[in-house]
Amino acid sequence: MDAITLLKTDHEKVSGIFEKLEETTERAEKTREELFTKLKQELDVHAHIEEKIFYPVLKKSEETRDITMEGIQEHHVVKVLLGELDAMGVGSETWTAKLKVLKENVEHHVEEEEGDMFKKAREVLSKEQLEELGALMEQEKQQQKALNASA
């Protein structure tokens, strides 16, 4: 699977988790906690493979450097929001509001990646490079998930 297809698949998975979370109420704490844990793990691993493997390659090219730097900063905002949500009780209105802000940030990030970054990436990277990056990213994802499972 090439890098872009892998990342788009992650985006769809995260979107599905957000949809399920939005359907919950403040009273469904156990469900919220389980879904949020899953969401946080998916976003953490996704950001990790982008920052460790995909973004460094894109930063080398002038055509993709600026959007890559912006992506890194968007990851930072998402990580801050995830940390704040993780430290709060899932049963509060504030948690619900902050989750909405997180979702909006993630959606914006996905739009920019899928609308602009990936298009430019296809211009600066060959199909072979994208396949190679995809394989590396898949391997790193499995390692990260194994680490998370053992933690």
If you average pLDDT over residues 16-43, what whole number do you get? Answer: 93
pLDDT value of position 98: 96
118's CB contacts (< 8 A; 6+ apart) are 4, 7, 8
* Distance, CA of 24 to CA of 27 (rounded, Å): 8
**Cβ atoms of 63 and 124 closer than 8 Å:** yes
Quick one: tokens of 86?
């993780």
- 84-118 pLDDT, tens digit per residue, is 999 998 988 899 999 999 999 999 999 999 999 99
Domain 3-150 indexed as CATH 2.60.40.290: no
Rounded Cα distance between 32 and 53, Å, is: 31
Domain assignments of the chain as residue spans, ordered by start: 3-150
The b/e string for 54-83 (b: 16+ C-beta within 10 A; e otherwise) is: bbebbbeeeebeebbeebeebbeebeebbe
Q: How many CB atoms lie within 10 A of CB 51?
A: 14
